[in-house]
Structure 1
Amino acid sequence: MAARINKKRSFLFVSRVLGKHIPVNPYTPLLGGAALALLLYREMNGGAADTDSMEKLLEQAVDGLIDPSRAEEAYRALLSARLVLPRPVVFIGFAETATALGHSMYNIFADHASYIHTTREDIPEMEPVVSFEEEHSHAVDHLVYALNTGMLSGEEPVVLVDDEITTGNTAINTIRDIQSKFPRREYVVASLLDWRSERNIQAYRELEEELGIRITALSLLQGSIEVTGTPLLDAAAGNGQLACASEVPVVTTYVADGLERLEVSSADSYGEVNHSPYLKLSGRFGMESCDNQLLDEGAARIAARLCKLRESSNALVMGVGEFMYLPMRVAAEMGEGISYQSSTRSPIYPEARPDYGVHSAEAYPSAGDPAIRNYIYNIAPGQYGDIFVLLERDVPRSRIEPMTDVLKSLAGNKVHLIILGARQETEAACP
């Protein structure tokens, strides 16, 4: 655990599975979502599922989550099972931490699945079809922008995916908003960790009775927690580890991934607009099972290009904020010696001691919105030779420099700023 710098909630579980606060084998977070998918498959099929086969796959998944060296084998075994749900299901991943978790859970199904993740991005050209608040968060607003609004208007079960459930209030707020606009009978709340108290569990039952719905909770680990103490409210920009660190070159590369773009813009807290297009199949705007192969092919193209740029045996691939899944998939295609992590907007107090989850923290203004601070946790200077940071869309160089300034003091050899897009591929050193 670690101390969250947040008056509403003083603690945070630092996951060894998500690839958010700790660098991980990229197959580990992919396997976390796949294991949840297996639980859902077993739940929805009931007695019709091949019990022996399911138990074997689940046991293999758990072994892979415990031992990262087995994660790839377990993940590929689940993919090759080609699971198909008995009826269509809509998956919704919660930003920012569970965008990749929700995507990896959805992706394990060969058909009958659709996926979208919530976002905190302000996209002026679009109206959100769902909005709700995460009451304990440092960033409370969640928006759902669906290109196909029909994906939520049917009677399909909705699966809400989050990394952890502590009170369950976020899921309750989401269900209320969806039910008021797109009523249905069945919801599933899936998470890696479920820490709800008996009173919180009872709140689900009361909501079921009030709305005439069924809510099923699935998790890899369930238990109870009790937290005492006073929140730490003063953020530490870092622990001084960069003071003597040397700086390495930053190289910017535009990679033509062949994936379709969506011509919409974003507005930040200051009203400044970025007209660079979004990736259509990131999950932010919705996708169907039939889209998965296109994204797989794009990930393979990006990985092949990055492998040619790689110069060190030990390298890190980074996602940025909500943009986690595709960088994670790219990292998984890059061979041995690759770790994966994403930057985050969650403020956590760092302290370098063995029994604490966050040993180091580096803060900087977000490239997408300078009013928001982003953080990189648990990376020591020189820990990785090459660091590849992937951006979904282009941003002005002045906005990305605070992040690359941090990274060039962490990398041992070179920082690669990878900007995905369909334009002619070029390569140049940052000024």
Structure 2
Amino acid sequence: MSERAAGQETREETVDVVWSGSWVAERLGVALEGDGELRELLGLALRRNPKRAHLLVSNVLGKHVPQRPSVVYGEGFALGERVRELLGAEEARRAVVLGYAETATGLGHAVADGLRDAPYLHSTRRPVPGVEQAGGFEESHSHATSHLLLPEDRELLAGRPDAGAEAGASVLVLVDDEFSTGNTVLNTIRTLHDLHPRERYVIVALVDMRSPEDRDRLTAFAAEIGARVDLVARSSGTVALPDGVLEHGQALVAAQEAEAPVSPPPSAQVPAPVTRVDLGWPAGVPDGGRHGFTPVHRAALESALPVLAERIAGALGSDVRRVLVLGFEELMYAPLRLGTALEEVLGADAADTEVRYSTTTRSPVLAVDDPGYAIRTRLVFPAHDDPADGPGDRYAYNVAGAGFDAVVAVVDSAADTPELHAPDGLLARLAEHTGHVLLAVIPSYTPAPAPVPHRQEPPVLPEPLRGPDFSSYAPEDVGWLLQDLSDTELEAPTEEREEAIQSGGAHYAESLPVEYQPSPEYQALFTAALGASAARIARAVGTVTETVLAERGPRPVLVSLARAGTPVGVLMRHWARHRHGLDLPHYAISIVRGRGIDANALRWLAAHHDPADVVFVDGWTGKGAITRELAAAISEFEAQERAEGSTGPGGRAGFDPEIAVLADPGGCVRTYGTREDYLIPSACLNSTVSGLISRTVLRADLVGPDDFHGAKFYRELAGADVSGDFLAAVAARFDEVADQVDAEAKELLAADRAPTWEGWAAVERISEEYGIHDVNLVKPGVGETTRVLLRRVPWKILAKRGAGTDLEHIRLLAEQRGVPVEEVDDLPYSCVGLIHPRFTRGATGADGKAVQGA
């Protein structure tokens, strides 16, 4: 690789260099069409993606391509000045800026600086214990999709308190590096507009790459919500793609990955020394905008920057001429400003001194060492900040082989972990390719808990509901921490529910679908499936129970997530009693995606059992959304309890958010009976295999602050109830599978069972490949696909070719509802259910066919 990595040349030098997109353009026929600056701003690279083979790589963002810090900061600052000019001084005074993680956190911060005294917040993918979530959204096309909003001041998203009450609602400025389809930004605006309506939004991006159809969609969206939506971009254009580009791109990526090493070989035989520098970061200044960054914070940082840069320069020594300041994923702004200050201190205008800036990233991109390709080299290292989505690889691009005399790695204290310093960690990888590694650690800012007013003792919560008064299960088998809403009319036609859910008019937990009544043919299929799979289910029940007893014994408290987890919890209880003579307590509680867990149910459990003994149980994993939801909900609950003084020093350990499941085809948990994706008969039916209990309900007019979530008991369906038949059929096989269970449990306990999150990656790929752009509408696995066919308005079913008898009920339901089944080869699940992303009455799908059920 040449001394200068791809895209690092200054504007004066670009005349003599090859465009860093020519390698892709020549091989795939991809072309950038737009204004004259587009090629200066963007290069091209490749990634393994069935929907979009190419990747636009910015030369001025400071993410994948090292660039002068002053150039990166200047681009964002100039965009902020343009927004200020667009709004006018008075309206700009009411602006709040929101940036997107991870790529645009630094860009958004620079835009806020250019606006002059605008407070700034960026979304984050890192949950922070003790900080209450103010919102969140999904970004389906991204490598990592879940965005959280965690402002310290929850009023920040509502308005500008410093602007005065007479100023009215704030103008929201949303900043991303690239505006392609606009889905993410429009979804964000819709979500926040429902919470805090405002009259004006401004979207800011380095490049606007929308199609004419996407531009029309923005216009219609603004009219729909009754607000003005402006767009400010550095440059604009489109990407022209020839026919067959996806197939050619995939083949090209596969060929290159087969030839290229994961990381380039070390450039020096002796790794560089790693030196820690004490920055003396100013007290009270956040490390970034994760929880908000105010004008007061900005002023304090600006005054401290020269001293901070002097300390870095002193630690580098006088013989260093070419320096890279390397930020860390979302931590972009602080390293960027350290870089701009270091340019001033080192006299970077001098011919023999150069400072560059880039950051590490989660995004996997193909590297090709060619001047006409934007990503010349990549360093691969393990994540080092205990990410919420589990361990995985991280990347630094265009660092190896770029000729840096020194690299200043800037991380926050939450990421200063043993993994960072490990032999295969980031610091070791950097040390192989430079003469000196400097580590600068910025204190991770965690907001202080808000003062909590004196809390009155909560009312005494009721005892759990039990059969036969509530559910057809035996009273000792499960206690339902729910309230009985059996006399409330909650059912709505499936099509009406789907329309309301996707339009944002209602949450799925505010109503119930009409209970599916199986046809005689379908009931016979369930019976046959139960007979064929009872031994396999028994083996998985035994394996997961033995694992729980070994790791969480001696007397765990089983708490199933209603309702799919409840039959599994009952079976685990039966196994423990049959094999070990244990009478394990078992309860069922409600968790709602997007709304969290029933906090009152947790309080009841904490009052009656040691939280450390609680083991949460679910039926299966799909993409892992509930796994993440539970972890975030438990963290928020326990932070709230600590803040309210409900747990004192020396108190018992808190709830463990890990879930034990019967089947984990998504690779989302470490406690499971199997990771195969096969038919679990309890997924075939609704309440009639779950004790005649509905799914749970959470609606403000029915569930008060001191109530359990609600559910219905369908007593009238007793004639069709097979809940007891399911339990008996599986339990009858316990002795038969006992030896297999002992061997499998022993093997599992000795194995590495770390979650792989393979399912989440597959869902993201499918979401993009089929143009859905919303991971919540992709339901992977036999269990989730069954739910789509029973409860939602399905678009189509993807079935793994050769899946066999496990999908007979799926094919039958699909035939009954007129839903096409598409056979596919490359699928980690047996099947996947797709809900159409634009469901309306009379709508058509991407294939031009009417959406089923519309």
TM range (shorter): 0.7 to 0.9
* Alpha-carbon spacing, 1:409–1:203, altered in 2? closer, same or farther (3 Å): same
1:287-302 mapped onto 2 (5 Å cutoff): 287-302=293-308
Q: Distance in 1 between matches of 2:266 and 2:355?
A: 26
SS at match of 1:256: coil
Which residue is equivalent to 1:71?
A: none
Residue 230 of structure 2 aligns to a residue whose secondary structure is strand
Q: How does 1:300-319 map to 2 (within 5 A)?
A: 300-311=306-317, 312-319=320-327
Offset at residue 254 of structure 1 (A): 3.5
Q: Indicate yes or no: 2:429 matched with 1:406.
A: yes
Q: Is the 8 A contact 2:81 2:115 kept in 1?
A: no
Cα gap change, 1:297/1:15 in structure 2, threshold over 3 Å: closer, same or farther? same
C-alpha distance in structure 2 between counterparts of 1:133 and 1:36, whole Å: 26
Tell me if the contact between 1:157 and 1:187 (Cα under 8 Å) persists in the aligned partners. yes
1:32-431 counterparts in 2 under 5 A?
A: 32-45=75-88, 86-111=92-117, 113-154=118-159, 155-227=169-241, 228-230=245-247, 231-232=249-250, 238=261, 240-243=263-266, 245-246=268-269, 247-260=271-284, 280=286, 282-311=288-317, 312-334=320-342, 335=346, 336=348, 337-368=354-385, 369=387, 371-381=391-401, 383-394=403-414, 395-401=416-422, 402-411=425-434, 413-421=435-443
C-alpha deviation, 1:365, in angstroms: 1.1
> Residue 142 of structure 1: CA displacement?
0.9
How many angstroms does 1:95 deviate by? Answer: 0.7
Q: Deviations over 1:157-189 (max 9, x none)?
A: 111001111101110111111112111111111
Q: CA deviation at 1:421?
A: 3.9
| Cα displacement (A) at 1:419 | 1.5
- CA-atom RMSD, angstroms? 2.1
Aligned residues: 365
1:54 maps to: none
Q: Note the C-alpha offset of 1:14.
A: 1.2
Q: CA deviation at 1:252?
A: 2.4
TM-score by length of 2: 0.41
User: 8 Å contact 2:367–2:377 — kept in the other structure?
Assistant: yes
Say which structure is richer in strand: 1
Alpha-carbon distance in 2 for matches of 1:258, 1:290: 12
Q: Which amino acid aligns with 1:356?
A: Y
AA in 2 matched with 1:40: V
Q: Is the 8 A contact 2:151 2:292 kept in 1?
A: yes
> CA separation of 1:351/1:189 partners in 2, compared to 1, >3 Å: closer, same or farther?
same
User: C-alpha displacement at 1:85, in angstroms?
Assistant: 5.5
- C-alpha distance in 1 between matches for 2:192 and 2:127: 20
Question: Closer, same or farther in 2 for the Cα pair 1:85/1:108, shift >3 Å?
Answer: farther
Q: Is the 8 A contact 1:9 1:136 kept in 2?
A: no
Segment of structure 1 superposing worse, 413-422 or 153-162: 413-422
Q: Distance in 2 between matches of 1:28 and 1:253?
A: 25
* 2-structure distance, mates of 1:341, 1:226: 28
Q: Deviations over 1:362-399 (max 9, x none)?
A: 11111113613211111234711111101121532334
**Stretch moving more, 344-353 or 190-199:** 344-353
Kindly indicate whether the alpha-carbon contact (under 8 Å) linking 2:79 and 2:114 is maintained by their aligned counterparts in 1. Answer: no
CA contact (8 A) 1:85 1:109 kept: no
Q: CA deviation at 1:357?
A: 0.7
- Is the 1:131–1:143 Cα contact (8 Å) retained in structure 2? yes
State the shift of 1:11 in Å: 2.2
- Aligned partners of 2:91, 2:338: CA distance in 1, in Å? 27
Larger Rg: 2
Q: Residues 221, 330 of structure 1: CA spacing in aligned structure 2 closer, same or farther, 3 A cutoff?
A: same
Separation in 2, partners of 1:258, 1:226: 48
Could you tell me which amino acid in structure 1 is paired with residue 437 of structure 2?
V
Aligned-pair identity (%): 29
Q: Cα deviation per residue 1:132-155 (whole Å; 9 max; x = unaligned)?
A: 111210111111111111111131
Match of 2:69 in 1: 26
Deviations 1:278-300 (A, max 9, x none): x6251111122232111223433
CA contact (8 A) 1:251 1:415 kept: yes
Specify whether residues 361 and 86 from structure 1 end up closer, same or farther in structure 2 by C-alpha distance, changes over 3 A only.
closer
Matching residue's letter, 2:47: R
Structure 2: gaps of 5 or more residues: 1-43, 160-168, 349-353, 445-854
